[in-house]
Amino acid sequence: MQIIQKPCPNFVQGRSGYKPEIIVLHIMAGSLTGTDSWFATTQSQVSSHYGVGFLGDIHQYVKEEDTAWTQGLKTPPLAKPTFKLYKENINPNKYCVSIEHEGNDLSKAPVTQLNASVELIRTIASKWNIPIDRDHIIGHYELDPVRKPNCPAIDKSIIDKIVSMAKTPT
């Protein structure tokens, strides 16, 4: 798996003593190139650890050991996050690794993109001893159900499919 480095200025060095425990799947609502450009500016005030393109390209914006600005939870969310392992009063950016996906709806992703995402999930999960299950691999909507109800997809079963693919031995 080749990972192309696309350094982003929007992050906090370290994780304040936390380690990655959750992998959060996002949708870019646009192109990989556009996201590269947006994350490269300080004006955006956002970032992610990774981006996965339609053709299976993987870009790394922020090191996994650092805190990306991706979950959108600088202030308390409008609705409490719905995922099982949410830590009350702790910014999820501190314990999540984020993967953005090119496009507008992950349930319509090409196989090349899904396969690259699955390979990346396996690598991250192995490195940090993160179980490959629906408690540990979530959609952004489970963190921010009011503002991001369709991130990464309208059809939420795509996350179950990705988890199932990641569990299947290669």
pLDDT digits 0-9 by tens, 111-148:
999 999 999 999 999 999 999 999 999 999 999 888 88
Tokens 């799947």 correspond to 25
Q: What is the pLDDT, as a whole number, of residue 153?
A: 96
| Mean residue pLDDT across the chain | 94
Q: What is the pLDDT, as a whole number, of residue 76?
A: 56
Q: What is the pLDDT, as a whole number, of residue 147?
A: 81
Question: What is the mean pLDDT of the segment spanning 74-98?
Answer: 84
Question: What is the mean pLDDT of the segment spanning 87-99?
Answer: 93
Asked if pLDDT for residue 170 goes beyond 80, the answer is: no
Q: What is the pTM of this model?
A: 0.95
- Using one digit for the tens of pLDDT, what is the confidence trace for 39-70? 999 999 999 999 999 999 999 999 999 999 99
Identify the DSSP state of 25. E
Q: What is the pLDDT, as a whole number, of residue 69?
A: 94
Asked if pLDDT for residue 77 goes beyond 60, the answer is: no
Write down the number of H helices and E strands in the chain: 3, 8
Cα–Cα distance measured from residue 91 to residue 108, given in angstroms and rounded to the nearest whole number? 30
